[in-house]
Chains A and B, each alone.
Chain A
């Protein structure tokens, strides 16, 4: 064999050996980088957010309305109850099945049909007897049920409360706020829509510390049922701050907090979903500080390590408040009272909360406004920054001439414009006078509804990602307004563009 051939062969062997190293170096990714990609389902991501809408074509959509009060067994009055508002913004008829869960009885099933671009209001309390009724509303249509949204209105003598229905059950729910002072009533309304029993552990946090009542450890939510837990009966009576953490050992469920405030600075009624997950970045769009409402932000750390949270106030040039740094210990709630923050303006502002170190947190916002005759308390969940979107949708209508009906906050550093479109039998039409709303960068803007414009269901579209909160007036009880975030439309083309 010639020397040249021998050298060529040796080079070939060396080359292929180098190929092994190249194959390793060029293609290798850190194993730890691969593992997060194992989450193939989007369900967990959706479940981690408060209710959202989607325009993606889906086979069916399911909405879990957390419940409305019934007044108890044998109650025959008319001031308890509630409705589910099913909005169909699509051009196709939707059909659906409503399954109602009442404590102590078997689920009831009805079917509904929702005409294109129409609303159906479902009377949830019709024909049922118990303390609460919750509902699962499954919708499907010719081209899927994407785009539909469902919200609920809970009626109570102290005033009604609005809440968007949840997208999915979760294995954990958190409530940063809670209030049992002055014999205020705080119920946890827990719905298990699954065919499996769900076993939960409930822990709550007061100023004195964390408690885990033994009856609430391994608490069983039977399959397809609704259960109610009165927090006050679990040793948390007379507390001005009760954060609640509910985790499932197995299964998933829907958790809402029904709150009847009877004094010590709070009055009225709210029935709100908890937060299905903690987040690191939150927005609280507070509204107008004019009138000096009693306003506080509750920050709950359900994690195992303490969290360092920075609190920034912004929204207008008038904001002169200094940023705060909060240390939120593990399994504790820290409240920030706006009354104690110097430099806040009497105009609109927002609060940004970011976890700098430690575990994610849950943020709730409590406002008690002093009205002419009494005070009215409103509670809303903060908005995780992931909810910022260019389109928002509402099934709850708004009457014409309503001042400051919406609050739109531009989360970006770029000036934007927003427009409101009415969705009705005639299609999607721009709301006259609301076609071009300037939303400056980093600022909240109130939107008032012009006279003569009734919006049954509507959509807010912005050129930049925004947050939209509705101020829904209460027509009964203590009055005032309920702060209810609209539903961001996620997963749309516009959303992906803006995200990129």
Chain B
């Protein structure tokens, strides 16, 4: 018999393993050891030499081979079969953390002979506590799911001590007949780690071999593979290999059925997994199914190989398998066991556990109720158009079309790539079955929930205490950031709130990599980069904010535990920034400009909001009631720093630093300390909220571990008081949820703006919004004016603002013309601003004053009254509507967006100066198209001889086709696109306005799509291709073949 042990990653248990082998009472045992490289090690690694020395010290006759790299368990063990000649022997395959009882081998050999089994395995018990069962064989169902048979923590009371057939035994220790092993081809060379035993046993069953467990043979097994090899995601690999084994081992007649079963189970599991945190596993399985099917050739070869072994039908194999779902069976068994355990367990411990569970359930029940109550009217009545919450009216097709076209329709439009966010919203709309309003409502209602769940998840990395996690989750939910964002219509803040816990989780995981390899850093960077890229697609300032958060986090970590403890975090953060930027390419190129910072942080109003430190620290945007109650959490975070010890102290410091740094930045933004704009206060405060929640977790954790039971002193009352203080903001949270809309106003500017008709008969038009950037319903730009305050402006097409207007438009000649005109407006240079903006299609000038959210009657946001004065004396602007909320002027000199110009207009269109426009009366133009859709490649017009003006920036890619002949465009008024229609064209002729998409844009779209797919697949382990198995290369040793001992040969005949 040859006992083959793969030794990897030396650990303290190896000595016990060796001694156990040495102590076996089975006499003819040849020992072969394969020593594989430790992670990050090299062949000259002294640890390998130490390992070899340890083996030879205990087992002097052992054959030791050093394997270069780590090709995997199965492929390495196959080398033993290669090294040993003959079929009349046995192979004992062992992990290096299995300590056999002295009689284990002989017991297994004996049973193998008695039962004529092909493969047997021992009863595996816990390494540290042998009274705990680990495995007595494994059950497997048709889909390859494993039923572990024993329950976690199940004590050995001889309840599983009957020898019996099992489908599979763990690869930790298996005794297999050499002839059978060779016949089935040994372990699969395509399985490196995870699932090799199922694959081997399945093939054995196909040949009619028996697999049995021999409980009289006992082995201790440490089974902490992932601790020793963090690089390998064992769970993921098991899923993938399970699917491959099933697909290869199933008969052809049942192949389609099993594929459908695997897909169906994965989909169901993915849906269930959303609630039970197991969605990743299901996605991996799903990807494995498709990935295996896609590689049809490989699958076919493998199936041919496996099916050629078949001597028994699938039906017979199914009789050996677990009926139904192994997972359900094990779940039900575990549930029964838990119920039993509950009755049996120590009464005090059970009470304590129940108490903790009650806390968690109470917190989640409360939060669930609060979120349901707080958002009920938003769901039923719909989300009000306030702030950035413009109605989502675009279909996924129109979003996709605009994204592909390479013409960004925001503002006046521009020949540049569309923001990545449009594509993401388009995808979301697609999956909402084409209902964009549902996407909007789900996003508004759900982002807050995502943030809260993220904090719960993040808490797992911080503490084992469910109570502390629940407290932190509650604290994060209580911070009035998310519902203030809902009330004031801030997507950016909501997105930041939802993302921050996940970013902190990524920081934590990146920081905890024991040995950060390049692959590790890449994968984690991709994950974080995906999150960052997705948020940056809507709020570009999130990237620098996240970088600052990472620096604060690293600073806190370095101060507490030293610089070396940072490990992979800097690399992960840097990588995530690169990934985030790449995922937004080419749109992100929009920011490569000298004034990139102002583009990143949004329109700069020139002054701070000056709300005051208390309002800022209270996360109060003006809608929340009792917001100052949240201030107690700052005190809690401070107390956490004082009372916490060890790891809790590190977390408390991280939380406090995050809270303080971002609170300071938010205050600085509010007071405009630096003289330049900072990202939106709410985005900054999202990390402060994360820091406060972290502080609460640290405090509650410290209360359980550092304070309770310690010698009585000032820490106990202080910590207890702080813990009680955590509950103070519960009341404001409940109060603010009461109205069912999170205080969002029921009506806002949109109801007033409905008077501005969409696609009226007199022609399409544009609306120019002027005023404080906070109040504009579209992404604003700002214009430097006298004094500190900058004038914000935004342009939308007729009707109310759309999703397309939510990204700041590009600087184009049209935008420059508008800005020139506005400069003249605010400096009082001309009373004819109406004429200056007439060719741009600007019909209405709207000055919002009070939106009911960020600007209320009690606390109005500054409205530039001088601007109102300037508008009032304009000679072409007719006051359409004026109230305390809103001011609307109609530009009587306007020209429709797509217009057939009057004779005077046609003449003026050939000039390009403000001077000419001031004196030119362009009235008399008629619409050449009603219902112009920006972002659509082709549109039908009705033209007549003269000049057609399209109020979009000039681009040679715009053409007009009339009766098959194409007219090139020309710049009109120096700012728009004009077409000279020849006199030969009959009045009322149909023409086609076309924008030719650049080929480069197609390449960009494809590249960006590929990048997102690549990032998703890599980040979540959804590899389309398997890792190619490493070849087994043995570095040293002679080639003299081994033979089995004579004692083994008789087994087969017995």
Contact = CB atoms under 8 A, between A and B. Distances in A.
A195 B873 contact: no
A42 B828 contact: yes
A112 B359 CA distance: 85
B608 A27 contact: yes
B865 A195 contact: no
A12 B559 contact: yes
Given A1-B561, A27-B668, A168-B873, A59 B607 contact: no
Contacts of A28: 610, 612-613, 671
A19 to B, nearest CB: 4
Interface in B587-615: 607-608, 610, 612-613
Nearest to A8: B559
A35 interface: yes
B915 A43 contact: no
Contact of A6 (B649, B832, B875): B649
Interface stretch (A140-148, A283-291, A318-326): A140-148
Given A60-B830, A62-B830, A40 B785 contact: yes
Contacts of A96: 919
B67 interface: no
A168 B664 contact: no
B868 to A, nearest CB: 8
B639 to A, nearest CB: 12
A434 interface: no
Interface in A1-56: 1, 5-6, 8-10, 12-13, 16-17, 19-24, 26-29, 31, 34-35, 37-44, 46-47, 56
Contacts of B825: 41
Contacts of B826: 40-43
Contacts of B829: 56, 58-61, 144
B650 to A, nearest CB: 8
Given A40-B866, A138-B919, A195-B878, A16 B660 contact: yes
Contacts of A29: 608, 610, 671
B337 interface: no
B836 interface: yes
Contacts of A31: 610, 612
Contacts of B608: 27, 29
Contacts of B832: 59-60, 62, 138
B632 to A, nearest CB: 15
B870 interface: yes
A58 B830 contact: yes
B99 interface: no
B772 to A, nearest CB: 9
A473 to B, nearest CB: 34
A281 to B, nearest CB: 22
Interface string A108-147: 0001000000000000000000000000101011101000
Contacts of A38: 787, 789, 862-866
A195 B870 CA distance: 15
Question: Secondary structure of the A side of the interface?
Answer: mixed
Max chain B Cβ within 10 angstroms of own Cβ: one of A60, A96, A170: A60
B660 A17 contact: yes
A59 B918 contact: yes
Contact of A20 (B607, B613, B787, B791): B613
Contacts of A252: 872-873
Contacts of A41: 785-786, 825-828, 864, 866-867, 869-870
A171 interface: yes
B646 interface: yes
A199 to B, nearest CB: 11
A21 B617 CA distance: 11
A422 to B, nearest CB: 28
A17 B790 CA distance: 31
A40 B673 contact: no
B877 interface: yes
B879 interface: yes
A168 B828 contact: yes
Interface string B862-901: 1111110110111111110010000000001000000000
Given A9-B653, A19-B660, A24-B613, A62 B875 contact: yes
B963 interface: no
A142 B867 contact: no
A39 B865 CA distance: 5
A6 B667 CA distance: 27
B118 interface: no
A141 B657 CA distance: 60
Nearest to A32: B610
Nearest to B821: A59
Interface in A307-345: none
A336 B772 CA distance: 47
Interface string B639-655: 00110011001100100
Contacts of B607: 34, 37
B661 A19 contact: yes
A26 B673 contact: yes
Interface string B541-581: 00000000000000110011110000000000000000000
Nearest to B829: A58
A196 interface: yes
Max chain B Cβ within 10 angstroms of own Cβ: one of A16, A29, A96, A169: A16
Contacts of A10: 641-642
A95 interface: yes
A16 B919 CA distance: 59
A41 B785 CA distance: 7
Interface string B812-829: 000000000000111111
Interface in B774-826: 785-791, 824-826
A401 B670 CA distance: 65
B127 to A, nearest CB: 31
B916 to A, nearest CB: 8
A5 B866 contact: no
Given A13-B653, A19-B661, A34 B862 contact: yes
A247 to B, nearest CB: 13
B878 A23 contact: no
A499 interface: no
A251 interface: yes
B391 interface: no
B869 A16 contact: no
Nearest to A30: B610
B555 A40 contact: no
B1023 interface: no
Contacts of B560: 1, 5-6, 9
Contacts of A16: 656-657, 660-661, 664
Contacts of B830: 58-62
Given A13-B656, A41-B827, A62-B875, A24 B865 contact: no
Contact of A37 (B673, B788, B869): B788
Contacts of B789: 34, 37-38, 40
Interface in A175-211: 193-196
A264 interface: no
B831 A168 contact: yes
B559 A141 contact: no
Nearest to B611: A31
A136 B830 CA distance: 13
A58 B830 CA distance: 7
A43 B867 CA distance: 8
A294 interface: no
A168 B561 CA distance: 69
Given A12-B559, A23-B667, 15 more contacts: A9-B641, A24-B667, A27-B668, A40-B787, A41-B828, A41-B867, A46-B828, A58-B827, A61-B830, A138-B831, A144-B829, A168-B873, A194-B874, A194-B877, A195-B892
- Please name the 5 residue pairs, one residue from A and one from B, whose CB atoms are nearest each other, closest first: A27-B673, A27-B671, A39-B866, A43-B828, A41-B866
21 contacts: A9-B649, A16-B657, A20-B660, A20-B663, A23-B667, A24-B671, A27-B673, A34-B789, A34-B862, A38-B865, A40-B867, A43-B869, A59-B832, A59-B915, A60-B830, A138-B831, A168-B831, A170-B873, A194-B875, A250-B882, A252-B873
